[in-house]
């Protein structure tokens, strides 16, 4: 954890981590006996599902709940479906989790099913949504969203994470290849790539426009990339997609290139694991592997009241179970010892102004939090710029009163959406 | 499946480690040079006043916590800071009931009834001071307060002398070096200018007070008093005596910078500091009080919410591009 420096006349600087110059091969985690997949759709008890417990599934098989489902997941192994149950995330939205028993041995894992991939986005969206890196194919295939610029992110968005940079260093050629495929299947005219300014890359990116991003957090967040490099100011309450800009991770581009080469899906996700003492491990694990298996491989012991953070320290999500599966978009997992978990308080804002000085987008956090505490979400959005927040988490990081500011803001945005949906 | 219970909470999962306790402790540390000097200068009575002021402020908060059935909050040292600053503004000869009444107004009326820390529109210590000043003006006559003391320097309160005897009479009585080094009559913690400046610079460097407020405050004192003095040097004193006497420096670094009652945006902070200082000089030169620091800062506390509305536009607000 980066602490406040003794002299803080200038605002604290948090820097992104740079990947080590000659990264080692990641450690391959063996495929476990049970894999867990999450499907972004709720089970409807009244309907007959397409899949049921006891079904045999093949490696690469597409699993859907119903005929008209738009959501699907792909089984990474050949095995048996043993459990279908519902799962709810931290904002209460429910999805379905499937447990697949891997009843083939390690060695005898069969080849994946091959797909009939054509050079258009619908065909890619049909099979490749759950590739490692989670390419946003659903959005690209959506006719209502007009995407005119694709930004490939080789710079990691959160602190500590180096997964994107690792992929960039190791698989540069496949990124270029994948970028060409993206261009071909989406016919998006403009392709850009973000690269950390200190990352040394052999060769160039040919026709792709390169944005050298600063090492200071939060310059790699989508809104900041838009502002600094594309000269677009993201209007409050809108997403980059609304402006026709789509962000895709370097790993997703690599996976796309491989998928088009082999006509089948890849399931091995590269991740950065950070242990309690800050030791970094790079692993390659099959999507669906429970995190506890990965920790066990490195003999990292998880105690009661420790915290497992999926994503980085500023924007990540804490999970309540060590069995949380590896997911396509999971770049970093951090294990935090219970002794160093910073405590929060229920103190009111003392108006010290630290959040104002650190906010990269000038949100009046000190006033905003007073409205959010009183559930005045409309007012907070109209007058105090709730929707301008780019969710970097810096305000809560520096808060002297230890108010969970970022949580208040996320909740505020969530409630605001609900309020507007009701109207 | 084992069921290890994990801690689940929301991002960010890091904190810079700062806390209210740390902040208030540092403010108290920063007052030490001035406080220790005051104790050496004014002796045991000064210790008594400071100790009573600090402890009674904390006890008032404790009593209020108990009565209102809220969590005990004296551990954050906010009441201690109020009590300490309050004590620093008193003469060493202040009677016990005077101190306790003052801290009652400061902590209970100035802070707790508004909802506690962060909710007070006025600086609590100043509110307590203003109450005492208006009620028992006689105790703030520093010349009378120290009548039994023997000093090896001019035993006259500089601002009162300036007010009632005129600038020509006091010329030469208060050399600048004496004023800076605390060789003047005044409140316990407000005479040692150098110590207050050192403490203030420490707090600025540590990031516990915002530099814009003291800097614009001092600039305001210098500019305004210089204007007066240039317009009529026979009636009005120059910046030196205004800057290093009375409550000016304790006001600049410790009172005007109180978090809850001061602005947080850059331009408002500059306006706030500057105009508080302008008001002080206006009161000293034209008004009825020898030292207007307390009322001037309170006045700007009232204006604070209005001027703090001047703030930079947030990203993407009112943008309709693309």
Residues A50-65: tens digit of each pLDDT: 888 888 888 889 998 8
CA distance A291 to A297: 10
What pLDDT is recorded for position A178? 92
CA distance A412 to A410: 5
The verdict on a CB contact (< 8 Å) between B6 and A320 is yes
What pLDDT is recorded for position B271? 96
Using a CB-CB cut-off of 8 Å, the residues of chain A touching B115 are 348
* A332 φ/ψ angles, rounded to the nearest 5 degrees: -135, 140
Residue A288 in this model has a pLDDT that exceeds 90 = yes
Q: Enter the pTM of the model.
A: 0.90
Min Cα separation A262/chain B (Å): 37
Residue A51 lies in a domain: yes
Domain boundary pick from B107, B138, B169: B138
Residue A8 lies in a domain: no
The verdict on a CB contact (< 8 Å) between B315 and A336 is no
CA distance A400 to A414: 25
Mean pLDDT, range B316-322, rounded to an integer: 62
Q: Which residue of A has its CA nearest to B118?
A: A350
The verdict on a CB contact (< 8 Å) between A307 and B13 is yes
Whether residues A295 and A383 share a domain: the answer is no
What number of helices (H) and strands (E) belong to chain B? 15, 0
What's the pLDDT band for B268 if we cut at 50, 70, 90? Answer: very high
Q: Report the CATH number that the domain containing residue A164 is assigned in CATH.
A: 3.40.50.11540
Q: Report the CATH number that the domain containing residue A283 is assigned in CATH.
A: 3.10.20.90
The size of the A-B interface in CB pairs under 8 A is 194
- Collapsing DSSP states into helix, strand and coil, what is residue A137? helix
Residue A415 lies in a domain: yes
Domain boundary pick from A262, A281, A297: A262
Whether residues A131 and A251 share a domain: the answer is yes
Residue A333 lies in a domain: yes
Mean pLDDT, range A385-394, rounded to an integer: 92
Select the residue of B17, B119, B206 nearest A7 (Cβ to Cβ). B206
Instruction: Answer whether A132's CB lies under 8 Å from A287's CB.
Output: yes
Domain boundary pick from A283, A317, A340: A340
Residue B106 lies in a domain: yes
The verdict on a CB contact (< 8 Å) between B8 and A90 is yes
CA distance A188 to A210: 16
CB under 8 Å to A420, separation ≥6 — which residues? Answer: none
What pLDDT is recorded for position A422? 86
What pLDDT is recorded for position B320? 55
Min Cα separation B110/chain A (Å): 15
Select the residue of B7, B19, B319 nearest A318 (Cβ to Cβ). B7
**A51-60, A118-127, A232-241, B18-27 — most confident range:** B18-27
Residue A195 lies in a domain: yes
Instruction: Tell whether B322 is within 8 A of chain A (Cβ).
Output: yes
CA distance B73 to B112: 11
Mutation for testing the A interface, residue in B24, B309, B316, B317 having most A CBs under 10 Å: B316
CA distance A274 to A281: 6
Chain A, 230-269: which have a CB under 8 Å from a chain B CB?
232-238, 243-244
The verdict on a CB contact (< 8 Å) between A236 and B315 is yes
Residue B71 lies in a domain: yes
The verdict on a CB contact (< 8 Å) between A388 and B17 is no
Using a CB-CB cut-off of 8 Å, the residues of chain A touching B13 are 307, 309, 313-314, 316, 318, 334, 336, 341-342
Whether residues B170 and B289 share a domain: the answer is yes
In chain B, the number of structural domains is: 2
Mean pLDDT, range B132-157, rounded to an integer: 88
What pLDDT is recorded for position A154? 93
Instruction: Answer whether A210's CB lies under 8 Å from A199's CB.
Output: no
Q: Mean pLDDT across chain B, nearest whole number? A: 92
CB under 8 Å to B322, separation ≥6 — which residues? Answer: A232, A235, A243, A244
CA distance B44 to A215: 56
Whether residues B28 and B170 share a domain: the answer is no
Provide the H-helix boundaries in A102-229: 121-127, 137-141, 163-170, 172-186, 222-229
Whether residues B76 and B179 share a domain: the answer is no
Whether residues B172 and B276 share a domain: the answer is yes
Whether residues B128 and B170 share a domain: the answer is no
CA distance B122 to B139: 23
Range of the domain at A165: 121-262
Instruction: Tell whether A17 is within 8 A of chain B (Cβ).
Output: no
Whether residues A191 and A213 share a domain: the answer is yes
| Token digits of residue A53 | 């417990």
Chain B, 11-70: which have a CB under 8 Å from a chain A CB?
11-20, 23
Range of the domain at B68: 20-138
Whether residues A249 and A132 share a domain: the answer is yes
What pLDDT is recorded for position B230? 94
Which tops the pLDDT comparison, B171 or B295? B295
Residue A239 lies in a domain: yes
Residue B218 lies in a domain: yes
What's the pLDDT band for A10 if we cut at 50, 70, 90? Answer: low
Select the residue of A303, A349, A397 nearest B12 (Cβ to Cβ). A397
Estimate to the nearest angstrom the gap between the alpha carbon of A51 and the chain centroid.
27
In chain A, the number of structural domains is: 4
Select the residue of B14, B118, B206 nearest A8 (Cβ to Cβ). B206
Best CA proximity match to A222, nearest among A195, A188, A245, A198: A245
Instruction: Tell whether A113 is within 8 A of chain B (Cβ).
Output: no
Whether residues A133 and A242 share a domain: the answer is yes
Whether residues A257 and A272 share a domain: the answer is no
Using a CB-CB cut-off of 8 Å, the residues of chain A touching B118 are 347-351, 401
Chain A, 32-71: which have a CB under 8 Å from a chain B CB?
none
Residue B8 lies in a domain: no
Whether residues A183 and A94 share a domain: the answer is no
Residue B260 lies in a domain: yes
Whether residues A207 and A255 share a domain: the answer is yes
Whether residues B101 and B189 share a domain: the answer is no
Residue A107 in this model has a pLDDT that exceeds 60 = no
* Site of tokens 């403010």: B27
- Condensed to tens digits (0 to 9), the pLDDT of residues B176-224 reads 888 899 899 999 999 999 999 999 999 999 989 999 999 999 999 999 9
Whether residues B126 and B155 share a domain: the answer is no
The verdict on a CB contact (< 8 Å) between A313 and B322 is no
| Token digits of residue A191 | 């392709």
Residue A207 lies in a domain: yes
Residue A348 lies in a domain: no
What pLDDT is recorded for position A8? 67
CA distance B127 to B297: 10
Residue A12 in this model has a pLDDT that exceeds 60 = no
The verdict on a CB contact (< 8 Å) between B321 and A232 is yes
- Condensed to tens digits (0 to 9), the pLDDT of residues A116-166 reads 888 889 889 999 999 999 999 999 998 888 999 999 999 999 998 899 999
Mutation for testing the A interface, residue in B2, B16, B23, B257 having most A CBs under 10 Å: B16
The verdict on a CB contact (< 8 Å) between A307 and B312 is no
What pLDDT is recorded for position A13? 75
What pLDDT is recorded for position B322? 42
Using a CB-CB cut-off of 8 Å, the residues of chain A touching B6 are 302, 304-308, 318-322
What pLDDT is recorded for position A9? 63
- Condensed to tens digits (0 to 9), the pLDDT of residues A244-258 reads 999 999 999 999 999
- Condensed to tens digits (0 to 9), the pLDDT of residues A304-314 reads 999 999 999 99
Using a CB-CB cut-off of 8 Å, the residues of chain B touching A397 are 12, 14-16
* Site of tokens 């804490």: A318
Instruction: Tell whether A296 is within 8 A of chain B (Cβ).
Output: no
Whether residues B85 and B62 share a domain: the answer is yes
Mean pLDDT, range B295-316, rounded to an integer: 92
The verdict on a CB contact (< 8 Å) between B211 and A3 is no
Residue A71 in this model has a pLDDT that exceeds 80 = yes
* A87 φ/ψ angles, rounded to the nearest 5 degrees: -135, 140
What pLDDT is recorded for position A93? 81
Whether residues B257 and B215 share a domain: the answer is yes
Instruction: Tell whether B111 is within 8 A of chain A (Cβ).
Output: no
Whether residues B41 and B167 share a domain: the answer is no
Whether residues B131 and B194 share a domain: the answer is no
Residue B175 in this model has a pLDDT that exceeds 80 = yes
Whether residues A235 and A128 share a domain: the answer is yes
Whether residues B179 and B289 share a domain: the answer is yes
Min Cα separation A102/chain B (Å): 17
Residue B9 lies in a domain: no
């Amino acid at each position: 954890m980066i602490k406040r420096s003794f002299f803080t006349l200038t605002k604290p600087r948090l820097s992104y981590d740079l990947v080590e110059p000659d990264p080692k091969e990641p450690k391959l985690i063996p495929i476990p006996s049970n894999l867990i997949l999450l499907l972004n759709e709720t089970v409807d008890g009244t309907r007959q599902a397409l899949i049921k417990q006891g079904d045999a599934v093949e490696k690469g098989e597409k699993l859907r709940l119903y005929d008209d489902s738009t959501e699907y997941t792909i089984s990474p192994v050949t095995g048996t479906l043993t459990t279908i149950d519902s799962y709810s995330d931290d904002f209460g939205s429910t999805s379905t989790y499937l447990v697949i028993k891997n009843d083939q041995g390690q060695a005898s894992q069969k080849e994946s099913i091959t797909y009939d991939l054509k050079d258009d986005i619908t065909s890619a969206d049909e099979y490749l949504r759950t590739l490692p890196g989670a390419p946003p194919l659903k959005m690209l295939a959506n006719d209502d969203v007009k995407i005119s610029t694709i930004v490939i992110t080789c710079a990691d968005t959160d602190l500590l994470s180096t997964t994107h940079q690792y992929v960039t260093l190791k698989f540069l050629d496949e990124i270029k290849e994948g970028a060409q495929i993206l261009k071909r299947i989406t016919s998006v005219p403009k392709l850009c790539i973000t690269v950390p300014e200190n990352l040394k890359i052999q060769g160039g990116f040919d026709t792709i426009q390169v944005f050298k991003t600063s090492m200071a957090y939060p310059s790699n967040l989508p809104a900041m990339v838009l502002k600094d490099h594309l000269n677009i100011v993201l209007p409050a309450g809108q997403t980059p997609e609304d402006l026709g800009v789509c962000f895709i991770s370097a790993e997703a581009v690599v996976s796309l290139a491989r998928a088009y080469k082999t006509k089948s899906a890849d399931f091995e996700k590269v991740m950065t694991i950070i242990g309690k003492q800050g030791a970094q491990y790079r692993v390659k694990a099959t999507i669906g592997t429970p995190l506890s298996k990965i920790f066990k491989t490195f003999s990292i012991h998880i105690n009661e009241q420790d915290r497992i953070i999926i994503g980085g320290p500023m924007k990540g999500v804490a999970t309540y179970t060590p069995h949380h599966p590896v997911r396509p978009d999971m770049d970093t997992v951090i294990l935090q010892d219970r002794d160093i978990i910073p405590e929060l308080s229920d103190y009111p804002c003392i108006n010290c102004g630290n959040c104002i000085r650190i906010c990269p987008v000038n949100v009046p956090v000190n006033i905003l939090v007073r409205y959010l505490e009183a559930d005045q979400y409309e007012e907070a959005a109209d007058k105090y710029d709730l929707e301008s927040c780019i969710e970097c988490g810096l305000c809560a990081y520096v808060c002297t009163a230890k108010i969970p500011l970022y949580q208040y803001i996320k909740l505020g945005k969530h409630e605001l959406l609900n309020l507007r949906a009701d109207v | 499946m084992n069921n290890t219970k994990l801690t689940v909470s929301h991002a960010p999962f890091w904190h810079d480690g700062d806390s209210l306790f740390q902040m208030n402790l540092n403010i108290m540390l920063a007052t030490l040079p001035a406080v220790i000097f005051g104790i050496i200068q004014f002796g045991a009575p000064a210790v008594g006043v400071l100790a009573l002021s600090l402890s009674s402020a904390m006890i008032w908060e404790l009593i209020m916590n108990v009565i209102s059935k809220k969590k005990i909050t004296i551990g954050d040292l906010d009441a201690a800071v109020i009590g300490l600053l309050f004590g620093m503004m008193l003469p060493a000869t202040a009677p016990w009931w005077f101190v306790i009444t003052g801290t009652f107004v400061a902590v209970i009326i100035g802070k707790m009834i508004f909802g506690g820390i962060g909710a007070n529109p006025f600086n609590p210590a100043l509110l307590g001071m203003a109450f005492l000043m208006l009620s028992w003006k006689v105790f703030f006559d520093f010349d009378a307060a120290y009548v039994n003391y023997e000093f090896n320097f001019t035993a006259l309160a500089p601002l009162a002398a300036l007010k009632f005897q005129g600038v020509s009479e006091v010329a030469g009585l208060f050399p600048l070096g004496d004023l800076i080094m605390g060789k003047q009559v005044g409140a316990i913690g407000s005479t040692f200018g150098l110590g207050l400046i050192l403490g203030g610079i420490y707090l600025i460097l540590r990031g516990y007070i915002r530099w814009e407020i003291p800097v614009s405050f001092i600039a305001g004192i210098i500019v305004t008093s210089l204007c007066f003095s240039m317009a009529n040097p026979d009636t009005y004193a120059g910046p030196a005596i205004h800057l290093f006497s009375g409550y000016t420096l304790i006001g600049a670094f410790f009172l005007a910078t109180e978090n809850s009652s001061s602005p947080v945006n850059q331009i408002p902070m500059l306006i706030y500091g500057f105009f508080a200082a302008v008001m002080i000089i206006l009161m000293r030169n034209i008004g009825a009080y020898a030292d207007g620091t307390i009322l001037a800062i309170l006045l700007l506390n009232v204006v604070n919410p209005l001027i703090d509305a001047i703030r930079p536009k947030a990203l993407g607000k009112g943008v309709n591009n693309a």
